[in-house]
Amino acid sequence: MCEIPRDNASNKEITKILKASKNIAIVGISADETKDSNSVAKYLKNNGYKIFPVNPKYNEVIGEKCYKNPASIPEAIDIVVIFRKPEAIPAIVDEAINIKAKTVWMQLGLANNNSADKARQAGLSVVMCKCIKVEHAYLV
């Protein structure tokens, strides 16, 4: 169960984020095609986004080079999508802030209000406890 998100992004904000974004880092992606992170990344790729898989275990996932961490991605990132355990969220949010990502997206089942507050204070948009694939299919 996810922490109850405070000040979560509205549907209008989410629509704006999804329409304005091009480059998406998928942190915690799995090469296992049965995992949500893999199917979400494929969906986003098939819908015109440039996907940057992030998982130090792999060299490539869904036909894309896999990166060790968000900081190792050579392009600007619009959205950092988190598919990791809740305890990993603060460090990933710090990385998103450091690379000047525009949005931190905590997937369904994930929320961290303290990290969200920190990201917002740094100028990032925050979406918590929502699936980016579901939101895209519904709103865009």
Which residues in the chain come in under a pLDDT of 50? Answer: none
How far is residue 98's CA from residue 57's CA, in Å, rounded to a whole number? 22
Tell me if 48 is assigned to some domain. yes
Q: Which residues pair with 50 in a beta bridge?
A: 23
| pLDDT, position 3 | 73
CATH number of the domain that 119 lies in?
Answer: 3.40.50.720
Tell me if 74 is assigned to some domain. yes
| pLDDT, position 59 | 97
The domain of 118 spans 11-139
Tell me if 1 is assigned to some domain. no
Tell me if 6 is assigned to some domain. no
| pLDDT, position 1 | 54
Tell me if 96 is assigned to some domain. yes
| pLDDT, position 5 | 77
Terminal C-alpha separation, the chain:
27
Query: Which residues lie closer than 8 Å to 116 by C-beta, 6 or more apart?
Result: 5, 6, 7, 93, 104, 106, 126, 128
| pLDDT, position 101 | 98
How far is residue 92's CA from residue 31's CA, in Å, rounded to a whole number? 20
pTM value is 0.95
| pLDDT, position 50 | 98
